[in-house]
Amino acid sequence: MASLLLAESGSTKTDWCLVRKTGKSVHFKTSGINPYLQSSEQILSLLEHELSNALDKYATTKIAFYGAGASRVEQQKKLADVLRQFFDIKTIEVQCDMMAAARGMCGEKKGIVCILGTGSNSCYYDGKKIRDRQTSLGYIAGDEGSGNYLGKRVLQYYAYHTFDEELKAAFEQLYGNDIGAILRRLYSEPFPNRYLATFVQLLKENRGHYMVENIIEDCLNDFFHTHLMKYRQSWNTPLFFTGSVAYEFKDVLENLCHQYEIELGTIERSPLENLVKYHRKML
């Protein structure tokens, strides 16, 4: 029976799904795979340690991989070569995470598609192809509205003594009070973007506090102002959002769309479910 192994990967986690023409799909997860941040050897090691056991029982004939850091041809080729080496399969399609979001959120409809997870990104999708997209400067110089961006603001508010006593205590309960240890982890260990995104937990647990609401709204508004306002289609096509940050703070996104008089489409934690439907039709 023909089957497709579908992967939708961000910087933090990868959702895998074995898709068959009929019957239930099989789901499993691994750590995030990003060919821009990881070497071929690191990706291969991750697959060997985290995916081998999950795949022992299943056979696949094709792979469709959508991932962060896979927007350029050289990154797509690098990842395809690793997947081909690990799976020993010839038919492999590698696309960027924006295409996964576009196909999963819009299907064959037009829309502005936005990813707000550990990182952030956006594009204009015409129902078939990505026609326009804002430049992404990544987790160091960009990622407005992302978990990394929000987490950086939380850390700044604590370290610069901006938080009141209530939020200071909440921060220390979650992360401790050793700024030196936090900085060592931030600057010495891999994936600082993932680490910064962990500080979003403080925002989740303290909704309603005016400083928390200000951080969330300011950071998400930065995404609107820096990226969404640059698309001329923003005022005649709906906005679609996906990602953990978008889903967690969807009430703020709804309010911002109302303020900017922009039509909101849907907000989903992940585009995977609809992406499975998209590919199942092609088996």
- Summarize pLDDT for 224-247 with one digit per residue, the tens: 999 999 999 999 999 999 999 999
Q: What is the pLDDT along the chain (283 residues), one digit of tens a residue?
A: 568 899 988 777 899 998 887 778 888 889 999 888 899 999 999 999 998 777 655 667 889 999 888 888 999 999 999 999 998 888 899 999 899 999 999 988 999 999 999 999 999 999 999 999 988 888 899 999 999 999 999 999 999 999 999 999 999 999 999 999 999 999 999 889 999 999 999 999 999 999 999 999 999 999 999 999 999 999 999 999 999 999 999 999 999 999 999 999 999 998 888 888 888 877 7
Q: What is the DSSP string of 113-145?
A: EEEESSSEEEEEE-SSSEEEEPPP-HHHH--TT
How confident is the prediction for the chain on average, in pLDDT? Answer: 91
Domain 3-101+272-280 has CATH 3.30.420.40: yes
Q: Domain segments of the chain: what residues? A: 3-101+272-280, 140-216
Q: Are 40 and 78 in contact (CB under 8 A)?
A: yes
Amino acid at the residue 150: L
Domain 140-216 carries which CATH code? 1.10.720
Q: Would residue 31 be called left, alpha or beta, if left means φ above 0 and alpha means ψ between -120 and 50 degrees?
A: beta
Record the tokens describing residue 279, joined without a space.
Answer: 């590919």
